[in-house]
A and B are shown apart, each in its own frame.
Chain A
């Protein structure tokens, strides 16, 4: 019984660490999705001349746009739908700030201005992305080790 409890504590510590480390991977995934979405927007704005509402609906294969299209159907404007979807999709303040900054100037200028705006956001996104990757590299492993260590420590204290 004692051994089983010990194993359970160590495993749960490890799982907690794993969960935390997955959050780092999730951040990277969300940023990569955003990069793909921005590239899609760029193409559609340049060649398909779609408006924001149409862009959201035609990009529903992206979770962010799928979420936003739900808000659109509820009667929200395209920008506010994207804002709400962004708030639900991005976990860190840094990424959310980047996304909201992108939304702020989205749609307010001509095609050339919009393409430049997307390019700028893509450039800024690279910074967030490399930071997210760095976090995975360093913190994710640390989380696993810390989680397991906490499990072991708890066992030792209890024993």
Chain B
């Protein structure tokens, strides 16, 4: 039974009954539910894009008789998922997402209202993407069995929807509850409320929800004395924060958007490795198998491989 899918479906009152009645296979394969103005509801996942029909069935073809999502409907839904309090989510909306109390993340798309280079707010919401978080117990076990040195820092790399957060979640739980090693203390920097969400990350995990990365790194180091710092989706803006946190006697386990094939071509990935915070990189498969590891490389191996290719 796809509990997470059903819970996300309950956030969409107009579609809930039809979504809940979908076959388990469709539910399991869905990564996110997309609602776009003037378009039918769309389920995106390993089966591709599926459109929801009026009778509750799904189709891969964009047909004329599919029920479309109206502007008013989308606006009302946005207001409802904000808890009728847009002001409460102002910063998140500016960053293009909404973090709901139940731990779900909704991508928000619209027109940016700018103030110089800064996005002041987002108006005319045109689409909402409801991500379905998943817990896959045991998906990180391979890393422990393979002897990946966690205490020297691990970077998880994968394309969008490859299960980076899912793997990071299981890794955190495994460390926190001592699945392979003795239980450890972790500070989980959950900026978007997605990593911790509604999930239990075990007794050793302290979750800093909603903190910007820099503040989270500082708070974690000063107040929580963790053995591991776990954070999701590192970006260029986080480099400084990361640099300030490393060599403080704490291992960093983080995730980044990147593909195995061109990992070192991405400047951010190279910069992350150059910080010295990570000794291994875990590569994930594509979105067809979320959370599945396709390879683990040490930094030396990666650079050696690059040199060989260049030669």
Q: A residues near B, CB below 8 A?
A: 45, 49-53, 55, 77-79, 106-111, 113-114
Residues of A close to B86: CB separation below 8 A? 107-110
Mask for B65-104, Cβ within 8 A of A = 1, else 0? 0000000000000011011111110100000000000000
A53 touches B83 (CB 8 A): yes
| Partner of A50 from B82, B88, B90, B121 at Cβ < 8 Å | B88
B84 touches A114 (CB 8 A): no
Q: How far is the CB of A52 from chain B (nearest CB, A)?
A: 5
Q: How far is the CB of A108 from chain B (nearest CB, A)?
A: 6
Q: Give A77's nearest chain B residue, CB to CB.
A: B84
29 A-B contacts (beta carbon < 8 Å): A49-B87, A49-B88, A50-B85, A50-B88, A51-B82, A51-B84, A51-B85, A51-B88, A52-B84, A53-B84, A53-B85, A55-B85, A77-B80, A78-B83, A78-B84, A78-B85, A79-B84, A106-B84, A107-B79, A107-B84, A107-B86, A109-B86, A110-B86, A110-B87, A110-B90, A110-B121, A111-B87, A111-B90, A114-B87
Cα(A51)–Cα(B79), bound, Å: 12
Q: Give B120's nearest chain A residue, CB to CB.
A: A110
A107 touches B90 (CB 8 A): no
**Which residue among A52, A53, A110 has the maximum number of chain B CB atoms within 10 Å of its CB?**
A110
Residues of B close to A110: CB separation below 8 A? 86-87, 90, 121
B79 touches A108 (CB 8 A): yes
If A107-B79, A108-B79 touch, does A52 touch B90 (CB 8 Å cutoff)?
Answer: no
Cα(A77)–Cα(B84), bound, Å: 8
Residues of A close to B80: CB separation below 8 A? 77
Q: How far is the CB of B124 from chain A (nearest CB, A)?
A: 13
Q: B residues near A, CB below 8 A?
A: 79-80, 82-88, 90, 121
Q: Given contact pairs A55-B85, A107-B84, A111-B87, enumerate 9 new A-B contacts (beta carbons under 8 Å).
A: A45-B87, A51-B82, A51-B83, A51-B84, A52-B84, A77-B80, A78-B84, A79-B84, A110-B87
Residues of A close to B87: CB separation below 8 A? 45, 49, 107, 109-111, 113-114
Residues of A close to B90: CB separation below 8 A? 110-111
Residues of A close to B85: CB separation below 8 A? 50-53, 55, 78, 107
Cα(A143)–Cα(B80), bound, Å: 47
Residues of B close to A52: CB separation below 8 A? 83-85
Q: How far is the CB of A59 from chain B (nearest CB, A)?
A: 14
Q: Give B94's nearest chain A residue, CB to CB.
A: A110
Q: How far is the CB of A58 from chain B (nearest CB, A)?
A: 13
Cα(A38)–Cα(B74), bound, Å: 29
Q: How far is the CB of B216 from chain A (nearest CB, A)?
A: 17
Q: Give A106's nearest chain B residue, CB to CB.
A: B84
Residues of B close to A114: CB separation below 8 A? 87
Q: Give A79's nearest chain B residue, CB to CB.
A: B84
Closest 8 CB pairs of A and B: A51-B85, A51-B83, A51-B88, A110-B90, A107-B84, A111-B87, A107-B85, A52-B85
Cα(A56)–Cα(B88), bound, Å: 14
Cα(A53)–Cα(B79), bound, Å: 13
Cα(A111)–Cα(B87), bound, Å: 5
Q: How far is the CB of B282 from chain A (nearest CB, A)?
A: 36
Cα(A113)–Cα(B79), bound, Å: 15
Cα(A126)–Cα(B88), bound, Å: 28
Cα(A113)–Cα(B85), bound, Å: 12
Residues of B close to A109: CB separation below 8 A? 86-87
Q: Give B210's nearest chain A residue, CB to CB.
A: A49
